[in-house]
Amino acid sequence: MPASQARARARDRNNVLNRAEFLSLNQPLKGNQESRSSSRKQSGQTGAAGSQNSIPKERRQSQQLPEEDCMQLNPSFKGIAFNSLLAIDICMSKRLGVCASTASSWGGARSMINLLGITGHGIPWIAGTLICLVKSSTLAGQEVLMNLLLALLLDIMMVAGLQKLAKRKGPYDITPGLLDYLTMDTYAFPAGHASRAAMLSKFLLSHLVLASPLRVLLVLWALAVGLSRVMLGRHHVTDVLSGFLCGYLQFRLVEWIWMSSNTCQMLISIW
């Protein structure tokens, strides 16, 4: 026994880890252990108290989350449907833009389609209405022409305002012409030519006595003007449809604020 104990003590003395400079690595001090245990207890107590206090806060915050954040994480059905319809609209408009340039599939008919679009422009119709108003000698004719002039001016202002708000570009990068700049028809939504054609066709059908073939031709002309704007690559399909709707609303507005014959005569005398 004494010999084995002596050998064990010799091994302990020869062990490098038993030296004083390495004792802190093998056997942590009691003060450190006590401080760590006390800090763990304090952190555990504060953590328990904090968790109790934070649970209702987290619940309140989760209840106060805006719906926009939820929609960004989980897109709604309306958002998906809107994006799908927008993609379909762009695809259809690209396919129907067969006269967007001379290199397109129907590039040879571009000049004829462009001429059809000019028939729905505001400047020729305003100029023609003014000429007819000067040459008109009947009170009924002057009343109709004055209200038609009001409808044309209202159409230009309404379409220009909506286009400035939307600022939607057409399916193709096409520079507007001089007549488009004069009527401030430089953006795509809504289609000014389509709204004007719809308003004019409805106005003329309501206030002019026309035969049935002429009435059918007038409706076909309005539809052809709207289609020509898509074929030229200036507007999307939804732009033309919204233009038709705007034209109908403009007609209803003019009918509501219809100027009487006396008012028209007063304005003509001032002019």
pLDDT digits (tens, 9 = 90+) for 6-64: 666 666 666 545 555 545 544 544 444 554 555 555 555 554 444 445 445 445 554 54
Query: What mean pLDDT comes out for the span 219-245?
Result: 93
187 or 74, greater pLDDT = 187
Tell whether the model's pLDDT for residue 167 goes beyond 70: yes
Query: What mean pLDDT comes out for the span 196-205?
Result: 94
CB atoms within 10 A of CB 120: 26
Task: Give residue-wise pLDDT tens across range 66-124.
Answer: 444 444 555 677 778 778 888 888 888 888 888 887 777 887 888 888 888 889 888 89
Q: Say what the pLDDT of residue 14 is.
A: 60
pTM of the model: 0.69
At which residue do the structure tokens 């057409």 appear? Answer: 170
- Give the range of the structural domain holding residue 127, as residue numbers without chain letter: 109-270
Asked, for residue 174, whether it belongs to a domain, the answer is yes
At which residue do the structure tokens 């109908």 appear? Answer: 248
Q: Say what the pLDDT of residue 12 is.
A: 62
Q: Say what the pLDDT of residue 195 is.
A: 94
179 or 72, greater pLDDT = 179
- How many whole angstroms separate alpha carbon 200 and alpha carbon 241? 16
The closest alpha carbon to 152, from 189, 182, 195, belongs to 195
* DSSP letter assigned to residue 17: G
Q: What percent of the chain has pLDDT over 90?
A: 31
238 or 11, greater pLDDT = 238
Predicted confidence band of residue 169 (pLDDT cuts 50, 70, 90): confident
Q: Say what the pLDDT of residue 70 is.
A: 46
- How many whole angstroms separate alpha carbon 207 and alpha carbon 144? 7
Asked, for residue 69, whether it belongs to a domain, the answer is no
Tell whether the model's pLDDT for residue 225 goes beyond 60: yes
Asked, for residue 37, whether it belongs to a domain, the answer is no
Active site residues: 193, 235
Q: Say what the pLDDT of residue 67 is.
A: 45
Ordered alpha helix ranges (H), 15-76: 23-26, 30-63, 67-73
Asked, for residue 182, whether it belongs to a domain, the answer is yes
At which residue do the structure tokens 């449809």 appear? Answer: 241
- What does pLDDT average to over the chain? 78
Asked, for residue 67, whether it belongs to a domain, the answer is no
Q: Say what the pLDDT of residue 270 is.
A: 81
Domain count, the chain: 1
Asked, for residue 196, whether it belongs to a domain, the answer is yes
Q: Find which of 4-18, 32-46, 170-184, 222-236 is predicted with most confidence, using mean pLDDT.
A: 222-236
At which residue do the structure tokens 């968790």 appear? Answer: 51
Predicted confidence band of residue 4 (pLDDT cuts 50, 70, 90): low
Q: Say what the pLDDT of residue 54 is.
A: 47
Asked, for residue 187, whether it belongs to a domain, the answer is yes
Residue 23 CA: distances (Å) to CA of 12, 36, 100: 13, 19, 87
By CB atoms closer than 10 A (0-12, 13-18, 19+), residue 268 is middle
Residue 75 CA: distances (Å) to CA of 63, 67, 79: 19, 11, 6
Asked, for residue 213, whether it belongs to a domain, the answer is yes
- What's the distance, Cα to Cα, between the start and end of the chain in Å? 135
- How many whole angstroms separate alpha carbon 18 and alpha carbon 21? 8
